[in-house]
Amino acid sequence: MKIIRQAVAVLALSLHGLLWAGTAEDEAVWTQRLALPPAVPTRDVIAALPQVQGARAGMDLARARQQGLQSGAYEWTLRAGVQQRSETAGPNYIENDVALERSIRWGGKAQADRDLGEAGVSASQSSYADTWHESVRGLLQAWFDWQRGRSATRVQGDQTALAQQQLDIATRRVKAGDVPRLDELMAQAERDRMQAQQQQALGQEAQLRTELEKRFPGLALETAAAGEISPDALQLPGEPAQWVQRILDDNHEIELAEAEVRMARLRSERASLDTRPDPLLGVRAARERGGAENIVGAYVAIPLTGSYRASEEKAALAQLAAAEQRLLQTRQRVEAAAQRVVLRATYALATWRRQAAVDQAMARVAELGMKAYGLGEMTLTEALQSRRTALDAALAAEAARWDALEAVSRVLVDAHQLWAAEEGPH
């Protein structure tokens, strides 16, 4: 319980600087502090992604469909005909007629279609914003995976250099006759092992960088290193529950599910209105018996409904029920995810502090161990073991650092404080 209280206190203090208005200047500051790519150029990279462009096209599609629903599917129809009248004991006549007709929406169907068009546009905007948000999440994950690879490569390089120093000390002591030749061979093997691990880290980093470049073309990969940031420099303001609520209050997944429920409800209402058929109205003019008779009239046609329209209404109601259940499921999932993200940031910051302290302590032990071996106060096996323990501590500290930076970044992204979508209902 003490650890939990400390973690919550750390987050309460650390969250102090993050509840800001979300200006471009704030965004630029935090992208630098969190070792993220620059804010403005990264927006251009996200906007150019295929999935984001596809979602933008979806908004254009929804607007076009909105215009179609406002206009209605019914169009004017022009009918024209010509006929020949033949009488047994009389002349033949050329007769012609023309008619203009159109079905009309009645009983509130036109307004229902307008509402459905607006709901479709709103849903497409939420879908666009959600696609943008998911793209930013993917960028964060790929970015920090690469940063972990870079960090591991740097640590392995430092350890390789220290292993070389250890080998130099062992070589001098062998030449001085202080230690057997075995010490030099062990130190050389350790140096070679460090070099092999460094090469492996370099290969993994190259793979991660290549993947990042391919998935996000044009992303600025060289940014300020996060090594200048201490665990105490990150501050998340307020209580964790405030961040959870902020994420839930402005969440594109929930908004999209709500928009889909609204569309399903409007479709069910429209299907109910369709059980009353639309009449067709027309006017007609005819010229008969060679112009001896001229006819002008109007007519109406009303379809006789059957079971099809009733079945369509039932199907729309079933789709509405399914959409409502998906909304409930989405809310539960998003709330659980928001709590998980905030808690992860809480404990990641605390873990980073602990691991950083362990790293400093073990680095000091390894340094003293190397000096002690040089003075003959410690065996090489003991010195190498302290060096390996220090390596594990350094790798763990680096992993904890990037985990914390990613966790804080994820909270900011989910709360729409970082790289928020520029288009949509917000």
pLDDT at site 413: 92
Query: CATH no. for residue 195?
Result: 1.20.1600.10
Confidence band for 100, pLDDT divided at 50, 70 and 90: very high
**Residue-range definition of the domain harbouring residue 362:** 2-76+111-275+326-414
Task: For 130-140, write each residue's pLDDT tens digit.
Answer: 999 999 999 99
Angle CA 424–112–61, to nearest 5 = 40
Asked if residue 238 lies in contact with residue 12, where contact means CB atoms within 8 angstroms, the answer is yes
Q: Is there a domain that residue 105 lies in?
A: no
The position carrying tokens 């599917």 is 73
Task: For 396-419, write each residue's pLDDT tens digit.
Answer: 888 899 999 999 999 999 998 888
Q: Is there a domain that residue 296 lies in?
A: no
The first and second tokens of residue 59, run together, are 């908004």
CA dihedral 366, 371, 373, 377 (to 10 degrees): -110
Q: Is there a domain that residue 219 lies in?
A: yes
Q: Is there a domain that residue 163 lies in?
A: yes
Cα separation, 380 vs 277, whole angstroms: 93
pLDDT at site 23: 55
The predicted model gives 308-335 an average pLDDT of 92
Beta carbons within 8 Å of 112's beta carbon, 6+ residues apart: 266, 269, 270, 273
Q: Determine which of 87-96, 151-160, 203-212, 283-292 has the lowest per-residue pLDDT on average.
A: 87-96
Number of domain units in the chain? 1
Task: For 200-238, write each residue's pLDDT tens digit.
Answer: 999 999 999 999 999 999 888 876 555 466 777 776 767
pLDDT at site 25: 55
First to last CA, the chain: 40
Q: Is there a domain that residue 194 lies in?
A: yes
Cα separation, 209 vs 228, whole angstroms: 22
Q: Give residue 146's Cα distance to chain centre.
A: 18
Q: Determine which of 17-21, 119-123, 190-194, 359-363 has the lowest per-residue pLDDT on average.
A: 17-21
pLDDT at site 131: 94
Residue of higher predicted confidence among 329 and 84: 329
Asked if residue 18 lies in contact with residue 417, where contact means CB atoms within 8 angstroms, the answer is yes
Residue 408: its H or E element? helix 380-414
Q: Is there a domain that residue 254 lies in?
A: yes
Q: Is there a domain that residue 168 lies in?
A: yes
Q: Is there a domain that residue 380 lies in?
A: yes
Residue 160: its H or E element? helix 109-176
